[in-house]
C-alpha cells in the first residue's frame, strides 16, 4: 500500500510508520519541514502546509491517508493555547480534504484521529460508537469540529474512519508524566480517583489503525480504547504495584485546578469508553488489562 501520514513524526506516527514499513508499505509523511528528514527506501517526506507546497504533485496514487496532526493538549490553556489546539486540528484536516480534492485518483480511505473527549465527562455513563451524547466542554467542541471536517472526505467517495483515541500508553506520550510522581515516591490518586480512564496500549493503537486500513467495512466512528477502562484510583494502584512504589499521596482536585487551570480536566475528569465496533469486527486486543499493558511497558 501507499499511505500518506500527517503527523507522522509524532509519538503515534513514528510507531505507525515502523509498522507500515515493516509489512512492506510505502509511507509518505506530510510535514512542514521535509528538509529536516532523510528519505529512505520506503519513507518519503513531503512538504505540506506551507505556501508553495504542492503535495498532490509529489504523491503517487494513495491507498490511504492517516491524519494525526494537531498541537499537544499539554500546557496551560490560555486563550492562545486553546486557539492553537483547535486551529491546528481543524486547519490540518481542511488541508487533508483539500489534498483529497486535488488528487487525480482519490485514496480508498481516510483515517482521521479524534479523541474520546468527544463524549464529554461522566462517572456513570458508558459510551460506545452508538452513543449519541456529545460533551459541552472545550475538548468536546474541538473533537466535534475535527470530526465534522474529516467527514467531508465522504463527499469524494473516500471511506472515512474517525479514530477516537483514549489515553495512549507507551514509553513516550502522556504515561511518563503520569508515572513521574510514583518514580519520586509521591504517587497517588488524582482528585476523587473515581474518574474513568479509557486507555489503550500503543501497540494496539497501531494494530487498530492497520486493521481499519485493511477492513473496508469499517467506517465512521471507531473507539481506540482497551475493553477494560479503569478508574483513576485503580490506575494509580496498578502503577504503584508495577513500579514497586508507594501509592500514598492523593492530590485534591482544587489543587490540580489551581496548578493546571482548565487543562486539569484531562486528569480529574474522564469518560468510560468501550471499543464495541472493534470487537464486532473481530479485532483481538493484545493488551486487554491495565496490568498487562503497564507490565509490558515497564518490563
CB 59 within 8 A of CB 28: yes
In whole angstroms, give the CA distance from residue 136 to residue 295: 36
CB 88 within 8 A of CB 235: no
* Nearest one of 208, 171, 289 to 16, comparing CA atoms: 208
Domains of the chain, CATH where assigned: 2-297 (3.40.50.720)
Dihedral of CA 287/292/297/299: which sign?
negative
What is the tens place of the pLDDT at every residue in 8-51? 999 999 999 999 999 999 999 999 999 999 999 999 999 999 88
Whole-structure pTM value: 0.95
* Burial readout 15-53 (b: 16 or more C-beta within 10 A, e: otherwise): bbbebbbeeebbbbbbbeebeeeeeeeebbbbbbbeeeb
Inter-CA distances, 151 with 86, 89, 114, 148, Å: 17, 14, 12, 5
* Burial readout 160-185 (b: 16 or more C-beta within 10 A, e: otherwise): bbbbbbbbbbbeebbbeebbebbeee
Which parts of the chain register pLDDT below 50? none
In whole angstroms, give the CA distance from residue 241 to residue 221: 35
CB 261 within 8 A of CB 76: yes
- The torsion defined by the Cα of 207, 135, 7 and 89, in degrees rounded to 10, comes to 160
In whole angstroms, give the CA distance from residue 142 to residue 132: 16
CB 110 within 8 A of CB 163: no
Residue with cell 513521574: 180
pLDDT of 51 reads 87
Amino acid at each position: 500500500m501507499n499511505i500518506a501520514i500527517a503527523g507522522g513524526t509524532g509519538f503515534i506516527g513514528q510507531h505507525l510508520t515502523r509498522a507500515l514499513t515493516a509489512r512492506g508499505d510505502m509511507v509518505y509523511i506530510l510535514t512542514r519541514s521535509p528538509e529536516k528528514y532523510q528519505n529512505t527506501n520506503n519513507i518519503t517526506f513531503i512538504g505540506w502546509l506551507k505556501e508553495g507546497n504542492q503535495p498532490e504533485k509529489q504523491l503517487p496514487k494513495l491507498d490511504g491517508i492517516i491524519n494525526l496532526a494537531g498541537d499537544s493538549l499539554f500546557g496551560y490553556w490560555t486563550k492562545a493555547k486553546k486557539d492553537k489546539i483547535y486551529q491546528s486540528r481543524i486547519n490540518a484536516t481542511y488541508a487533508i480534504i483539500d489534498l483529497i480534492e486535488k488528487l487525480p485518483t482519490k485514496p480508498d480511505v481516510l483515517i482521521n484521529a479524534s479523541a474520546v473527549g468527544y463524549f464529554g465527562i461522566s462517572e456513570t455513563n458508558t459510551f460506545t460508537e452508538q452513543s449519541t451524547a456529545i460533551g459541552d466542554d472545550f475538548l468536546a467542541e474541538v473533537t466535534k469540529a475535527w470530526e465534522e471536517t474529516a467527514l467531508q472526505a465522504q463527499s469524494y467517495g473516500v471511506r472515512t474512519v474517525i479514530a477516537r483515541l483514549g489515553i495512549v500508553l507507551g514509553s513516550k506520550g502522556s504515561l511518563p508524566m503520569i508515572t513521574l510522581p510514583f518514580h519520586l515516591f509521591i504517587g497517588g490518586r488524582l482528585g476523587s480517583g473515581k474518574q474513568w480512564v479509557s486507555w489503550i496500549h500503543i501497540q494496539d493503537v497501531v494494530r487498530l489503525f492497520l486493521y481499519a486500513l485493511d477492513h473496508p467495512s469499517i467506517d465512521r466512528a471507531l473507539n481506540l480504547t482497551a475493553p477494560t477502562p479503569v478508574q483513576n484510583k485503580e490506575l494509580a494502584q496498578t502503577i504503584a504495584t508495577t513500579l514497586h512504589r508507594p501509592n500514598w499521596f492523593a492530590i485534591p482536585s482544587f489543587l490540580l485546578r489551581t496548578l493546571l487551570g482548565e487543562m486539569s480536566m484531562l486528569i480529574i475528569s474522564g469518560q468510560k469508553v468501550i471499543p464495541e465496533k472493534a470487537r464486532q469486527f473481530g479485532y483481538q486486543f493484545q493488551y486487554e488489562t491495565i496490568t498487562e499493558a503497564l507490565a509490558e511497558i515497564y518490563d
